[in-house]
């Protein structure tokens, strides 16, 4: 399609002027002819030839692809306004080529933006990033080597991602998965089957593989990021329980870093490298103190890092 000028003469004012039409070419045997689709008037709003060409191109886009089609290039607002106006005139007068008929006569419905409501809108960004990280670490392949089923692996990935994105209790995690997150759609685990008991169970299963899994991840992070573990950092902390923990073998009264001397504690020991990657962790009795037992803790934890016979930096 193109815009074609037609020269006119006004006998009253004795002046010449141009009228523009949107035209298209067609074949009639061996001849090429022009067909006028719609008259565009004088187009005084568009003084330059280039602007008139852009108008013709934009009207053709609308006719081919529909009135809500975004412009392929940046367009002047006045050109867009004229293009939309003449496109509606083309539709109303049905002055269009048959090859565009199906496009122009499609059923359309008006949508009122202010009345739109979201339903079942789920978060996906952080979950997707975590899933990509799990894939690069190769955790699913490690679990398969331990004879885990695909369903169990999907549940484990669901729980790991949930812990990273939304660290909360298992009960709250279930609500978050079902109401806010698309993690199950990413991992392939049936959302309707998620319960707190399943999450508790998969946590226990993962804990049974704690040592080989941590050693595997230590090796994977070193290979992924070309790390040498030249500096190792060790740290101890503790946390308390609200309950009495009468049946616990390691919960003890001790010096709480959170000033909870009324509650039993456990001590958490971790090893990280200088880049901040966790290399190993362990849980000890709550009355373990940094000064009296740190040397034995270091000896035990050092055997699980990639650095041997090296004094740690504390």
SS3 283: strand
At residue 9, φ and ψ (nearest 5 deg) are -130, 125
Task: Report the percentage of the chain scoring pLDDT > 90.
Answer: 24
Q: What is the pLDDT of residues 201-223, one digit of tens each?
A: 999 999 999 888 988 888 888 88
Question: What confidence category does residue 226 fall into, taking pLDDT thresholds of 50, 70 and 90?
Answer: confident
Q: What angle do CA 201, 205, 207 make, to 5 degrees?
A: 115
**pLDDT of 12 above 70:** yes
Mean local confidence (pLDDT), 241-256: 87
CA distance 289 to 167: 28
Tell me, what DSSP letter sits at residue 131? H
The residue ranking higher by pLDDT, 287 or 163, is 163
| Residue 192 burial by Cβ neighbours in a 10 Å radius (0-12, 13-18, 19+) | exposed
Identify any residues that bridge with 252 across adjacent strands, giving them in sequence order.
Answer: 265
Q: What is the pLDDT of residues 252-307, one digit of tens each?
A: 888 888 888 889 998 888 888 888 888 778 888 888 776 666 676 666 655 555 55
Q: Which of 106, 34, 47 is nearest to 76 (CA)?
A: 47
Tell me, what DSSP letter sits at residue 263? S
Q: Are 300 and 213 in contact (CB under 8 A)?
A: no
CA distance 145 to 87: 63
Please report the pLDDT score of residue 310 as a whole number: 52
Give the pair of three-digit tokens for residue 258: 């959170």
Q: Are 285 and 250 in contact (CB under 8 A)?
A: yes
CA distance 234 to 272: 7
Q: Name 136's Cβ contacts closer than 8 Å, sequence gap at least 6.
A: 224
Give the orientation angle of helix 210-225 with respect to helix 125-137, to 10 degrees: 90
The residues spanned by each domain of the chain are 2-104, 125-208, 229-302
**pLDDT of 42 above 90:** no
Long-range contact pairs involving 47-54 (C-beta distance under 8 Å, separation at least 24): 51/76, 51/79, 52/3, 52/20, 53/2, 53/3, 54/79
Question: What confidence category does residue 3 fall into, taking pLDDT thresholds of 50, 70 and 90?
Answer: confident
Tell me, what DSSP letter sits at residue 301? H
Long-range contact pairs involving 93-96 (C-beta distance under 8 Å, separation at least 24): 93/38, 95/37, 95/38, 96/37, 96/63
pTM of the model: 0.57
Please report the pLDDT score of residue 259 as a whole number: 86
The residue ranking higher by pLDDT, 299 or 39, is 39
CA distance 91 to 38: 10
Long-range contact pairs involving 295-300 (C-beta distance under 8 Å, separation at least 24): 297/234, 297/236, 297/269, 298/234
Mean pLDDT computed over every residue of the chain: 82
Question: What confidence category does residue 96 fall into, taking pLDDT thresholds of 50, 70 and 90?
Answer: low
Please report the pLDDT score of residue 101 as a whole number: 47
């Amino acid at each position: 399609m193109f815009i074609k000028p037609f020269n006119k003469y006004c006998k009253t004012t004795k002046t010449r002027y141009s009228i523009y039409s949107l035209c298209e070419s067609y074949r009639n045997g061996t001849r090429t002819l022009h067909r006028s689709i719609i008259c565009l008037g004088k187009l005084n709003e568009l003084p330059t030839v280039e602007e008139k060409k852009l108008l013709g191109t934009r009207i053709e886009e609308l006719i081919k692809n529909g009135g809500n089609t975004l412009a392929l290039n940046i367009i002047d607002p006045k050109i867009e306004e004229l293009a939309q106006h003449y496109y509606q005139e083309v539709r109303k007068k049905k002055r269009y080529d048959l090859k565009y008929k199906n496009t122009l006569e499609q059923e359309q419905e008006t949508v009122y933006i202010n009345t739109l409501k979201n339903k079942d809108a789920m978060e996906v960004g952080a979950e997707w990033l975590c899933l990509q990280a799990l894939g690069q670490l190769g955790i699913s392949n490690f679990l398969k080597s331990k004879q885990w089923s695909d369903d169990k692996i999907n549940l484990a990935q669901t729980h790991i991602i949930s812990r990273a994105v939304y660290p909360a209790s298992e009960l709250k995690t279930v609500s978050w998965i079902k109401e806010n997150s698309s993690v199950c759609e990413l991992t392939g685990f049936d959302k309707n089957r998620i319960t707190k008991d399943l999450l508790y169970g998969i946590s226990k299963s993962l804990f049974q593989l704690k040592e080989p899994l941590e050693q595997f991840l230590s090796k994977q992070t070193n290979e992924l990021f070309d790390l040498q573990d030249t500096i190792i950092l060790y740290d101890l902390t503790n946390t308390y329980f609200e309950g009495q923990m009468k049946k616990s073998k390691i919960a003890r009264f001790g010096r709480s870093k959170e000033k909870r001397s009324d509650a039993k504690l456990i001590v958490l020991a971790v090893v990280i490298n200088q880049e901040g990657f966790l290399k190993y962790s362990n849980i000890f009795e709550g009355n373990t103190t940094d000064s009296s037992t740190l040397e034995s803790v270091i000896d035990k934890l050092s055997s699980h890092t990639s650095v041997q016979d090296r004094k740690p930096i504390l």
